[in-house]
Structure 1
Amino acid sequence: MPTVGLGASGPIVSRLALGTMTFGVETDERDAHRQLDTFVAAGGTFVDTADVYGAGDSERIIGRWIERRGGADDLIIATKGRFAPPAGSHGASRRSLRRSVDASLHRLGVEAIDLYVVHGWDEHTPVAETLGTLTSLVRDGKIHAIGWSNVTGWQLQQIVTTATLGGHISPVTVQPQYNLLDRGIEIEVMPCALDAGLAITPWSPLGGGWLTGKYERTRRPTGATRLGDDPDRGVEAYDLRNTDRTWRIIDEATAVAAEHGRPASHVALAWLLARPGVASVLLGARTVEQLDDNLAAVDLVLDATQLDRLTRVSAIDLPPYPYGMIEDFCDVDVWQRLGTTDTPT
């Protein structure tokens, strides 16, 4: 499997990462360990979890797997903290982060966390406090590199600027939702990440299963699927995404897939891996069979025409102001390069 560095100073990781949100919730420990074994056997080196996944069970399951195999020196283990704070403490505060990191280290059974990602913005805690704490944790040898997830463009810029001006450790990656159905990060988050040299490591690359083609336009999902269990689930909710735009994108991805004799999911992943700044894509699966299928996408390369077809059909409209006005005095190649739309209007 190809590898890539996370930003200018981050670790080298496989281009496909194993997301483990299902561990201990939808995937039992036996099958979770099978997924981990399968991922490593395929050349995967980047395993991503979080302290809130399965209320800590995902980290515990990974920790027991690491113990079984005799360590994880050949892997990059990433975890996240922010949404499971101790009582009386905000998620990204000094008190909370120190306790959260120690708890994750214990559950994972490792001496240091290779990549620690703040799971979201904390409006109650100054960014300087969060960055200062993370910097001290690096000096203590408890974490090696940091990232942020689920932030807006201005929040990401504040993080980067505060790190630079304050002499703190700087993030090497940002972890947003990003896929053919949801390209909102291209308006502000992606340009900010590219300018700062941060790697982008998207979650939900298949849009919660939508881009596999398994859902239908006229029938709400049922059965053992993510939306079958809960059709109203978050940003992936059936009624929210069951739109003409969604089906145009799925139809185009299916058409491109037919040209390669591949499933639509491979096309969606290949498009994402070709996007600016995208370093590694987080794959989440309930079963080993699903993981195997997604891992097989790593060698698919779409030609320029196919990439353009997918980019155009999934383009999002930029708001008239300020983006339309910027067209008058700024190089519009930024939008054309990202494929957000033909020109800002």
Structure 2
Amino acid sequence: MQRRRVGSSGLEVSRIGLGTLTWGADTDLEAATAQLTAFVDAGGSLVETADGYGDGLAQETLGAVLAASVPREYLVIAGRATLPGGPLGDSAARGALLTGLDATLKRLGTDHLDLWQLPAWDATVPLDETLSAVQVAVLSGKARYAGLVAPRGWQLATVAERGRALGAITVPVSAQVEYSLLARDVEAELVPAAVHHGVGLLAWAPLGRGVLTGKYADGTPADSRGASATLAPYVEARRNERSARIVQAVLTAADGLGTSPLAVALAWVRDLPGVASAVVGARDAAQLAASMATESVTLPAEIRAALDDVSTPG
């Protein structure tokens, strides 16, 4: 699998990343082990996790896989802070952030994150205090790089400029955002800001939360996320008339290219300007293999243009 630099930093990641949203819940330890082993064997490196996935269960599961099956040094682990409440607060305050980071490292059974992703903005805490947590984490070796989660364009620009003033280690190298044919609102402000400031994009939910695979075109499969009590609202948010038109265009493109709708949707996101990696989730190793198989797929210019046109935000 090809690797890319994250923005203008020296950090390299596989251009397809593996998400762990369902690990420890819908994805048990055996299935998670099979996924991560197949991912690494195919040349994948970026693994995304968060302390809010299953209230820490996803990270505990990833830690168990690392301890038993996959060497830690093979991975670039991106850990996302979701700021759970506690004695030190639930904000982007230095104490809360660093306490959360220590808990994440303990669950993972590792001494560092390759990429520590912070909430983009907290108006209740001085930005310099939040960035000081990054300084502490990097200088202590607990984080190698820092990024942001779902910032707006002006927020990313503000953090990048203030980070440069405080020192290079506090400058964000990445922004993890939802980005797909069904979710292109980030192109208005965030994408131009990221490209300008040398911040790489980690495209989350590049398959439109599964809708772009076409699996929901005729209903809700019993084994899909849309049938899960916990994930159904997550999927339903992307099922509407506009989405149906875009899905039909993806199905038509896939038929013309002799490939899968998944490959078309994923390749569209993966090769956008500024995108360092497209992060996919999977129910099992077979489903993950379908995403990994897109490595050889490149969309012709005319098909990309047609998909751009049908999915342009209103």
Q: TM-score range by the shorter chain?
A: over 0.9
Q: Can you list the C-alpha shifts for 1:98-133, whole angstroms capped at 9, x where unaligned?
A: 111111111111121110001453232222111111
Q: 1:193 to 1:224 in 2, by over 3 A?
A: same
In the TM superposition, what is the alpha-carbon distance from 1:70 to its structure 2 partner?
Answer: 6.5
Residue 33 of structure 1, CA deviation = 0.9
AA aligned to 2:65 is W
135-144 vs 121-130, which moves further: 121-130
Identify which range, 282-291 or 115-124, moves more after superposition.
Answer: 115-124
- The DSSP-based 3-state class of the residue aligned with 1:201 is strand
Q: Post-superposition shift, 1:169?
A: 1.3
2:158 is the alignment partner of 1:161? no
Match of 1:100 in 2: 100
The more displaced of 5-14 and 189-198 is 5-14
Aligned to 1:89: 89
TM norm structure 2? 0.94
Q: CA deviation at 1:234?
A: 4.8
- Give yes or no for contact 1:231–1:237 (8 Å, CA) kept in 2: no
For 1:137, give the aligned amino acid. Answer: A
CA RMSD of aligned residues (A): 1.8
Are the aligned partners of 2:13 and 2:45 in contact in 1 as well (CA < 8 Å)? Answer: yes
Comparing both chains, which one has the higher relative contact order based on Cα–Cα distances under 8 Å and sequence gaps of 6 or more? 2
Tell me the amino acid that sits aligned with residue 67 of structure 1: A
Task: Give the 5 Å matches for 1:57-136.
Answer: 57-69=57-69, 71-136=71-136
Asked if the contact 1:90–1:122 (Cα under 8 Å) also holds between the matched residues in 2, the reply is no
Q: Tell me by how many angstroms 1:170 deviates.
A: 0.5
1:212 matches 2:213: yes
Cα offset, 1:310, TM superposition: 0.7
Structure 1 residues 162 and 27, CA gap change in structure 2 (3 angstroms): same
Take 1:112 and 1:94, find their aligned partners in 2: how far apart are those partners?
Answer: 17
In 1: Cα distance, 2:136 partner to 2:71 partner: 25
Residue correspondence of structure 1 range 308-319 to structure 2 within 5 A: 308-317=305-314
The answer to whether the 8 A contact 1:253-1:310 is kept is yes
Secondary structure of 2:50's counterpart equals coil
What letter matches 1:271 in structure 2?
A: W
Aligned to 1:247: 244
Counterpart amino acid of residue 296 in structure 2: D
- Between the aligned partners of 2:184 and 2:161, the Cα distance in structure 1 is 25
Alignment of 1:277 with 2:274, yes or no, is yes
Q: Where does residue 187 of structure 2 map in the other structure?
A: 186
- Segments of structure 1 that go 5 or more residues without pairing to the other structure are 318-345
Deviation at 1:64, TM superposition (A): 1.6
Q: Runs (4+) of structure 1 moved beyond 4 Å?
A: 230-235
Q: SS at the partner of 1:306?
A: helix
Correspondence 1:260 to 2:261 = no
How far has the Cα of 1:22 moved from its partner?
A: 0.7
Could you say which residue in structure 2 is the equivalent of 1:225? 224
Gaps of 5+ in 2: none
TM-score by length of 1: 0.86
Shift of 1:290: 1.1
| AA aligned opposite 2:294 | A
Q: Which amino acid aligns with 1:151?
A: P
Q: Deviations over 1:14-73 (max 9, x none)?
A: 110100011011101111111111111111011111111111111111112112236311
Contact 1:90 1:125 in 2 (8 A): no
**What one-letter code is carried by the residue in structure 2 that aligns with 1:178?**
Y
Counterpart of 2:198 in structure 1 is 197
Q: Residue by residue, what CA displacement relative to the aligned partner does 1:211-268 show, whole Å, maximum 9, x if unpaired?
A: 0001136x4x352211222498456425x6311x212211111111112211111000
The one-letter code sitting in structure 2 at the alignment partner of 1:260 is: L
3-state SS of paired residue (2:55) = helix
Q: Is residue 11–residue 76 contact of structure 1 (8 Å, CA) maintained in 2?
A: no
Length, aligned pairs only: 313
| Partner amino acid, structure 2, of 1:229 | S
Aligned equivalent of 1:321: none
After the TM superposition, which residues 1-12 of structure 1 pair with which residues of structure 2 at under 5 Å, given as runs? 1-12=1-12
Aligned-partner residue type, residue 307 of structure 1: R
Closer, same or farther in 2 for the Cα pair 1:18/1:207, shift >3 Å?
Answer: same
Q: Distance in 2 between matches of 1:235 and 1:57?
A: 19
The percent identity for this pair of structures is 35
Residue 153 of structure 1: how far off its partner (Å)? 1.4
- Give distance in 2, aligned partners of 1:130 and 1:2: 34
Q: State the partner residue of 1:171.
A: 172
Change (3 A) 1:236 1:161: farther
SS of match in other structure, 2:182: coil
Structure with bigger gyration radius: 1
